[in-house]
Amino acid sequence: MNWIKESQMYNIYPLGFAGAPRENDFKLEYRLNKIYDWIDNFKKLGINTLVFNPVFESTRHGYDTIDYYKIDSRLGDNNSFKEICKTLHENGIRIILDGVFNHVGRDFFAFKDLQKNRENSQYCSWFMNLNFHGNNHYNDGFCYEGWAGHIDLVKLNLDNSQVSDHLIDAVKFWIKEFDIDGLRLDAADCINLDFFKRLRSACLSLKSDFWLYGEITSGDYNRWANDDVLHSVTNYECYKGIYSSHNDKNYFEIAHSLNRQFGSGGIYQNIYTFNFVDNHDVNRVASMLKEKRHLNNVYTILYTMPGVPCIYYGSEWALEGTRTAHSDYELRPCLDINNIPNPNYNLYNHICRLGKIRKALPALKYGNYKNINIKNEQLVFMRECDRQTVYVALNLSSDDYNIDFNVDGNGTFTDALTSEKFDANGYANIPLKPFSSRILVLNWDNQETDFNDETIIPVENNKPDGQSIGKIPVRIGKYCHYKGNEYEVIGIAKDSETLEELVVYRALYGEFELWVRNRLNFEEIIEVNGKPTRRFEPID
């Protein structure tokens, strides 16, 4: 399933993202259509897969499902969501939905029937530990099991074939109607494995490359992620290790976890884990770090460790947010792409570069893992595949540091983050600035891939000396690249698979090969030496 290894994911909590009311008023509002405004942002970040937390009709927060076959009216309807999925796919972005199958809300049709008909309800066997001799604080006249003691979340009996059929038929509906590409399985550690086996078989029968990953906070990941059950799980061990290694100034912690999981003899070498540094359930990483200047290194690790990286919406700008004893809503804000609060563009630009680098380097997607040099405040690890060797070096200290290590090979390192070159003849001594990282590629000379001298910033922020610079729609004619080379645009093409618009152009001097570049990228405004600059400037 290579598309997962090529994926860079982005996680959205739709009800918060879209600014939906906390209590469902059942008024139809197409709030999720704001996703269209974010597609350019996804492309700049290199995102090609979106993970949506619950989108189906619920009473409050999405995890108290009312109807598995209906998009939440606060977000839109089935037709509007179908169009969203179609547009995302046309832009080369796959879709993963949140499968909440452990429990439902009290407004779920089967539970409403139970309230009405009690012992005579045909749905008595749909719920766990139902007891008509007890009661609850809703005074239903019966008691039942709720997820983690929350009786608003009524636990389903997945051993009942009618229940599992209802849920699996819903997933088939999602695949057929919305053409989704995968599922996040909520509270996977609470669900019996036989249900997951049935679910996997049903999904793969409809879509052979469908991907299933489970929310697992602890335990042996192999229990859930294997050839019979799910494909992957959430990597909570490394989630914790990444931020706490920086807070404690102890890279030994994350190095130990990565080696334990993915090093030689590692216990999860066969699992392509779902990696993250924050999500809708945990404090944002910008709030967790004692030193905000560690953010770049946090994301360097996320993008260079084995597994698939995922960004939680807004965290690319270092948004902060913490949960309280009674609410997670601060973690799930409504965001306007044109008015992000206190954005950290240094981090944003760093993540944009990381997205390009990971896409360009096979070793970061397919390579094995090996620790090379571990110190409290510095770390070097290696990713290696048949085609490539990459060393990742990090310095969390506030001081300059030269890190030395033995190199498996001879030649030259190129730092993909800066384009600097260093000797790598069996031994390296690499300078690291404070709070910085390097992605050192051995004997790499890819002139077409340059991540150093450009950073991506929004047009509305391009105001040097009080002046602004705007995009110019591409047209047939001559252009000067910001590095000085001249080209001629000869046409606009469309990708036969994604319908993405591509600019076709040729070099005017020295080399006459044809080139193809994404139209948005061709028209993009970048920052060069601190000034906003058009990537390609019309000559006449």
Residue 407 lies in a domain: no
In a shared domain, residues 95 and 193: yes
Q: Please name the residue ranges forming H helices in 91-232.
A: 109-117, 161-178, 193-206
Write down which residue in 234, 265, 288 finishes a domain.
234
Residue 49 lies in a domain: yes
Query: What is the model's pLDDT at position 464?
Result: 36
Query: What is the model's pLDDT at position 2?
Result: 83
d(CA 467, CA 530): 14
In a shared domain, residues 60 and 165: yes
- Sign (positive/negative) of CA torsion 240, 242, 247, 250? positive
Residue 36 lies in a domain: yes
Q: Which domain holds residue 20?
A: 1-101+161-234
d(CA 214, CA 221): 9
In a shared domain, residues 31 and 91: yes
d(CA 124, CA 44): 51
**Pair of tokens at residue 59:** 């009473």
- Residue 188 three-state SS: helix
User: How many domains does one find in the chain?
Assistant: 3
Residue 409 lies in a domain: no
**Beta strands 486-494 and 501-507, pairing class:** antiparallel
Residue 209 backbone dihedrals phi, psi, to 5 degrees = -105, 20
Give the domain CATH number at 47.
Answer: 3.20.20.80
In a shared domain, residues 230 and 147: no
Report yes or no: 132 and 119 within 8 Å, Cβ to Cβ.
yes
Give the domain CATH number at 135.
Answer: 3.90.400.10
Write down which residue in 178, 204, 234 finishes a domain.
234
Residue 55 lies in a domain: yes
Query: What is the model's pLDDT at position 469?
Result: 63
d(CA 304, CA 5): 12
**Beta strands 211-214 and 182-185, pairing class:** parallel
In a shared domain, residues 74 and 208: yes
Query: What is the model's pLDDT at position 539?
Result: 83
80 beta partners: none
In a shared domain, residues 73 and 136: no
In a shared domain, residues 14 and 72: yes
Residue 505 lies in a domain: yes
Query: What is the model's pLDDT at position 364?
Result: 98
Give the domain CATH number at 509.
Answer: 2.30.30.320
If you ran DSSP here, which 8-state letter would residue 127 be given?
A: B
Write down which residue in 115, 131, 157 finishes a domain.
157
Pick from 141, 140, 112, 137: nearest CA to 126: 112
Residue 68 lies in a domain: yes
In a shared domain, residues 91 and 212: yes
Query: What is the model's pLDDT at position 325?
Result: 84
In a shared domain, residues 113 and 172: no
Report CA Rg, the chain.
25
**380 CB-near residues (< 8 Å, 6+ apart):** 371, 372, 373, 374, 391, 392, 393, 394, 403, 405
**128 CB-near residues (< 8 Å, 6+ apart):** 144, 145, 155, 156, 157
- Sign (positive/negative) of CA torsion 415, 346, 35, 185? positive
* pLDDT tens per residue across span 409-466: 899 999 999 999 999 999 999 999 999 999 999 998 764 455 544 444 443 333 333 3
- Residue 348 three-state SS: helix
Query: What is the model's pLDDT at position 230?
Result: 98
Residue 33 lies in a domain: yes
In a shared domain, residues 1 and 85: yes
Pick from 27, 50, 21, 56: nearest CA to 38: 50
In a shared domain, residues 88 and 152: no
The size of the chain, in residues, is 540
Angular region, 315: left φ>0, alpha ψ -120 to 50, beta rest: alpha
In a shared domain, residues 461 and 506: yes
pLDDT tens track, the chain, 540 positions: 689 999 999 999 999 999 999 999 999 999 999 999 999 999 999 999 999 999 999 999 999 999 999 999 999 999 999 999 999 999 999 999 999 999 999 999 999 999 999 999 999 999 999 999 999 999 999 999 999 999 999 999 999 999 999 999 999 999 999 999 999 999 999 999 999 999 999 999 999 999 999 999 999 999 999 999 999 999 999 999 999 999 999 999 999 999 999 999 999 999 999 999 999 999 999 999 999 999 999 999 999 999 999 999 999 999 999 998 888 999 999 999 999 999 999 999 999 999 999 999 999 999 999 999 999 999 999 999 998 999 999 999 999 999 999 998 899 999 999 999 999 999 999 999 999 999 999 998 764 455 544 444 443 333 333 345 667 888 898 988 887 778 899 999 987 767 778 899 988 865 567 889 988 888 888 877 667 888 898 986
